[in-house]
Amino acid sequence: MAKNARKKLIAGNWKMNGLAASAPEFVRVVGAYQGLKDSVDVMVFPPFTLLTSFGTASRGVGVLVGGQDCHAKASGAHTGDVSAEMIADAGGQAVIVGHSERRTDHGETDADVRAKAEAARRAGLVAVICVGETKEQRESGEAKAVVSRQLAGSLPDDAAAPHVVVAYEPVWAIGTGLTPTAEEIAEMHGFIRSEIVGRFGADAGAKMRILYGGSVKPDNAKEILATADVDGALVGGASLKADDFLAIARAAG
């Protein structure tokens, strides 16, 4: 399948940022999407507190919204957690699972991430499954082994486009202003695709989108998004300002 068969996806991860007063930034993204929707898919992952209002603001426009995490179970005695079914009920169509901040701050294992991805499937959500090595792991030459292990452990056996998206986010590039070179990104994305092809077959591998994440900004988006096997971006800090996020989305078009 030709590379351009995978429509680019720009996903904004607001992390623990955003109050009701931030809604106009999102509304501006929604307002501009009409001119972008033929060339790029856009998802925004606000904090749970804003999910319903963002879902309402984007209904029928094509900008998808989602949660930044979910519990593996549909309901039950899990204080503070939110299920995939609840995200869907609140108007979400997607969920990020296995973000490195969840893996680090909450000790999430690959098995946890896989169970969450399975929950997303059960609830009809797209799962954006994150993988990526630390600085130490890259410097010791283990980056591919780490990512391979994370993919093997975190992707469910029925992972397939369009309900699964992989996001490669080197931990050392997140929020630091540092990025791998285009060659390093191409090498890792090519490796990830070969791993997916090896497990799920050539057709599934050709269809699955692989996003790059970690310090994507308006000024580096064009080069990153033009890199082989990069099918979009997972954007943290630069997704909080509509101008920056839209500039990145335009760079994908």
Active site residues: 99, 169
Three-class secondary structure assignment of 177-213: CCCCCHHHHHHHHHHHHHHHHHHHCHHHHHHCEEEEE
Least Å distance, CB 218 to ligand PGA, is 12
For Cα atoms 142, 147, 150, give the angle at the middle one, nearest 5 degrees: 125
Least Å distance, CB 170 to ligand PGA, is 10
Outline where the chain has alpha helix (H): 23-32, 48-58, 84-89, 100-105, 110-122, 135-139, 143-154, 182-200, 202-207, 218-225, 242-252
Stretch that binds ligand PGA, among 17-25, 133-141, 186-194, 210-218 (CB under 6 A): 210-218
221 is a contact residue toward ligand PGA (CB under 6 A): no
143, 161, 166, 216: which one contacts ligand PGA (CB under 6 A)?
216
Least Å distance, CB 98 to ligand PGA, is 11
- Residue among 35 and 175 whose Cβ is closer to ligand PGA: 175
Stretch that binds ligand PGA, among 104-112, 119-127, 193-201, 207-215 (CB under 6 A): 207-215
Bond prior to 162 in cis (omega within 30° of 0): yes
The 3-state DSSP class for residue 249 equals helix
Question: For residue 220, what are the β-bridge partners?
Answer: none
90, 120, 235, 242: which one contacts ligand PGA (CB under 6 A)?
235
150 is a contact residue toward ligand PGA (CB under 6 A): no
Q: Which two tokens stand for residue 79?
A: 């204080």
55, 91, 98, 237: which one contacts ligand PGA (CB under 6 A)?
237
13 is a contact residue toward ligand PGA (CB under 6 A): yes
214 is a contact residue toward ligand PGA (CB under 6 A): yes
Least Å distance, CB 96 to ligand PGA, is 8
Q: Going by DSSP bridges, is the β-strand pair 64-67/126-131 parallel, antiparallel, or unpaired?
A: unpaired
Query: Cβ(198)–Cβ(218) under 8 Å?
Result: no
Using CB under 6 A, list all residues that contact ligand PGA. Answer: 13, 169, 174-175, 213-216, 234-238
